[in-house]
Amino acid sequence: MTRFPLLSSGACLLAATTAFTAIPARAQVGATLDLGTTGVGAHLVLPISPGLNGRLGINYFKHDFDKRSGQVEYDLDGKLQTVDALLDWYPQPGRNFRVTAGVLYNDTRFDATALPDQLGSFSLNGTRYSAADVGLLRGKVDFRKAAPYLGIGWGNALNSERGWSFGGDLGVFYQGSARVSLRSEGCQVATALCERLARDVAAEQERLADDASDFKVYPVVRAALSYRF
C-alpha cells in the first residue's frame, strides 16, 4: 500500500482541470488554506463564468482514538485523506454566499487493533478467549472512493481586491457503508478451536461494520484563509 496515497490521486486533479480549459490566460486565480473537520487542506480557485468558480484541493486529517464495539475495545488509527473537485455557485454575483456541489476522491481509512480487557482476554461473540490464544486481532475500515459533496459557504477567493480574505464551508459528503475486515493473527490453540475463533471473529466483524455505519455521511465544517493573486 502506498505510504502517501494522496500522491496517487494526482490523476484525479489532472482530469478535473479539463473543466477549466476555457479560462482566459489572464483570468484571476485564488488559493485557500483550510482547517476543519476534513483536517488541514489547500485549494486552487479558478473562475468558470460570472457567479461560478471551480475549486480543486486536498485535505488531510489524522485521528487516533479508542472505540468499543460489542464487548471489544479497539484502538483506531484513522487517516482522512480527500481530493476535492468542487463548483461554487454564487446566486448573487458580487456577494459572498455560495452553494457548493462536487465530488471527492475519498481515501479515508482506519487501522483497528483490538485491546484485551483487564483480565488479559477477549470476549468474542459471547465466547471468552485468552489474549495469548487469540494472538493479534487486527482490522481495517475504509469507504467508497467517490463521495458526492453538497454544502453552502461564505467568501470568494476571487473577489475584486487582490490580497487576503476569509471564508468557510458547511456541508456533508456521502461515503456510504463502511467496508470492514477483521482477522486473528497467530491463533495458539488446536485447529478446531481456531476454526471456532475464526467464526466468532467473523461475527465481531459484522458488528464492527454495523457500528461503522454511523459514518455514512461525514460533516464538513471548515474555515479558510484565501488569497487572490
Nearest to 41 by CA among 53, 54, 32: 32
First to last CA, the chain: 37
More confident of the two residues 195 and 59? 59
pLDDT recorded at residue 39:
96
- List, for residues 133-187, the tens digit of each pLDDT value: 888 899 999 999 999 999 999 999 998 778 899 999 999 999 999 999 999 888 8
Residue 1 has pLDDT above 70, yes or no: no
Q: What is the mean pLDDT of residues 11-39?
A: 66
* Rg of the chain in Å (alpha carbons): 22
Predicted structure pTM score: 0.79
What residue ranges define each of the domains in the chain, with the CATH number in brackets? 5-228 (2.40.160.170)
Q: Which of 14-18, 111-115, 118-122, 194-198 has the lowest mean pLDDT?
A: 14-18
Contact 173, 144 (CB under 8 A): no
pLDDT recorded at residue 37:
96
Give whole-number Cα distances, 51 to 27, 91, 210, in Å: 14, 7, 42
The cell 479539463 sits on which residue?
18
pLDDT recorded at residue 10:
47
**In whole numbers, what is the pLDDT of the chain averaged over residues?**
86
Give whole-number Cα distances, 134 to 9, 110, 158, in Å: 37, 21, 58
CA–CA dist 75, 115 (Å, integer):
7
Residue 3 has pLDDT above 60, yes or no: no
pLDDT recorded at residue 16:
46
Q: What is the mean pLDDT of residues 123-129?
A: 90
CA–CA dist 93, 161 (Å, integer):
15
Q: What is the mean pLDDT of residues 201-228?
A: 92
